[in-house]
Amino acid sequence: EEHLVESGGGLVQPGGSLRLSCAASGFSFSNYWMNWVRQAPGKGLMWISVTSRDGRSTYYADSVKGRFTVSRDNAKNTLYLQMDSLRADDTGVYYCVRGMSSSWFTLDYWGQGTLVTVSS
Amino acid sequence: QSALTQPRSVSGSPGQSVTISCTGTRTDVGGHNFVTWYQQLPGKAPKLIIFDVIARPSGVPARFSGSRSDNTASLTISGLQAEDEAHYFCCSYADTSTLVFGGGTKLTVL
């Protein structure tokens, strides 16, 4: 059974950095594009980023471009999100999400999320 | 990357049908066959219920169906059940190799 477990969330001051991790199991991690999606408290979903199977192709939402970096280690079945220059509006639950094998933009398995709070 | 437009809330009685709309532009909803819908139960992660505008993943009841007309996609839930009460989010692939979500719709089963 597919399983995604995020970690690394917590409280950070504005301007600070945080690195999220997502451990994958139950499927062949290296065969799938992987996404990050954020949900602000009580709000809707916002797509953040995606990385290709080998990590060579990455795409970002405009609001995080230049501040966030997605990467992966296929040997460790782990996805990462490096978040720098954090702002209050980056606060939310960050979900690690698998893209369907035929199309990365169909988000077929979601982790339970990790909460990031940006506040002084 | 403007968010897709969804109604904030809809409601219906058990057994009835409800439709949730999702309006975008020709650069997202109207320009690609890659509209998806997600159901989010309280305190849970979202779950995929419709992909490629009209397709259902295995295990999703046939009561859930998707459609599209021009720049507006729709999710219809037939034979409403109490367990369908949740938030529903649409999402579309966009021209800039990004994804854009709708603001979400809260479905209340009366």
Three-state SS for A40-83 is CCCCCEEEEEEECCCCCCEEECCCCCCCEEEEEECCCCEEEEEE
Q: pLDDT for A7-41, tens place per residue? A: 999 999 999 999 999 999 999 999 999 999 999 99
Interface test with A, best of B87, B98, B105 (most A CBs within 10 A): B98
Those residues of chain A that have pLDDT short of 50 are none
Mean pLDDT along residues B36-43: 96
B98–A108 CB contact, under 8 Å: no
> Which two structure tokens, joined as six digits, stand for A68?
């966030």
The answer, yes or no, to whether residue B1 has pLDDT greater than 70, is: no
Place of tokens 């970096």: A69
Amino acid identity of residue A72, one-letter, is R
Measured between beta carbons, the chain B residues lying within 8 angstroms of A111 are 45
Mean pLDDT along residues B29-36: 94
B34–A111 CB contact, under 8 Å: no
Q: Between A60, A103, A110, which is nearest B46 by CB?
A: A110
